[in-house]
Amino acid sequence: MPLNRPRAAYLATSVPQPASSANTKAPSPTSSCTKETVLPGLSWLKGQAPVVALADEEYPPWLWTILESRTFTEEEMEPGSIGFKAKMRKERKAKIRLANFMKTQMKRNPRKVRWTKAFRKAAGKEMTIDSTIEFEKLRNVPVRYDRDLVQTTIKAMKRVAEIKQRRERAFWKHRMAVAREKRKTSRSRAKERLYQREAARDAAIAASYEQPDDVELAQASDELDMVKPLQNSTSERVIIKERAIVKDKKKLQRSSALVAGSGRSMGMEMD
């Protein structure tokens, strides 16, 4: 690049100009089924030709966003608008689903259903004896309205809720600590049992392979001096060789897993 090139030329060619937003089009997502892919199970007429997937460009653009959740604006969320109606419809469906679930659970004993308060309290998973629980009891005593009393009661309710939350947290930590210790002891016992089984198995394998000839042969080899020549070389060599042959024969002879029966064998007699 020449050094005497004008500055305007550098500015014109160095930074590319962004394309206008009107001309750019968001790329459509790629379909999982390529073109000419046979889609089984979509034919509804007898003898109809199999349905084949088309190219991504041949599908309408709304098809790619049909599964996306619709977001409503603030104007559409006003009472009576389409967004508000959709929200209320969703809440009604959730309430109906919860009511149907509770109808199926009402036939069961609540002390035997794990997610109920009665089961959790009976199993010791929640606090049952605490001073903060006394404030939540229903009192059938009419009280005359007093503004100061209402404000004091509201403040006391907030304070009691904070204290109860801290105590529940401490109760949960204590319960988890006990459970952690139980888990540790159970794991250590399981490891001990596993080690005992492995030791018993290794001892049984070692006992099955242990032979008296191996010990005698080892003692004989220890008594021999491999550096000095043998005094009675012929007799000792013959003894060692015979022991080695007997050892090899015992290794080759394996005990059969079949057990001889005491009864007669099965047979067929012809008249």
Name the residue among 247, 239, 246, 245 with its Cα closest to residue 221: 239
d(CA 33, CA 15): 40
- Segment 90-96 mean pLDDT: 94
154-201: per-residue pLDDT in tens?
999 999 999 999 999 999 999 999 889 989 999 999 999 999 999 998
What is residue 3's predicted lDDT score, i.e. its pLDDT?
A: 44
Q: Which residues of 130-158 are buried (b: 16+ CB within 10 A; e: fewer)?
A: eebeeeeeeeeeeeeeeeeeeeeeeeeee
Name the DSSP letter for residue 49. P
Q: Which residues of 190-205 are buried (b: 16+ CB within 10 A; e: fewer)?
A: eeeeeeeeeeeeeeee
226-250: per-residue pLDDT in tens?
555 555 555 666 666 676 666 666 5
Between 5-9, 66-70, 107-111, 147-151, the lowest mean confidence (pLDDT) is in 5-9
What is residue 21's predicted lDDT score, i.e. its pLDDT?
A: 45
pTM over 0.75: no
In three-state secondary structure terms, 90 is helix
Query: Greater confidence, 142 or 2?
Result: 142
- φ/ψ (deg, to 5) at 97: -65, -40
Between 38-47, 157-166, 215-224, 243-252, the lowest mean confidence (pLDDT) is in 215-224
8 A C-beta contact, residue 221 and residue 241: no
What is residue 47's predicted lDDT score, i.e. its pLDDT?
A: 84
pLDDT of 128 higher than 80: yes
8 A C-beta contact, residue 126 and residue 117: yes
* Residue 158, H or E segment: helix 147-209
Mean predicted lDDT score pLDDT of the chain = 76
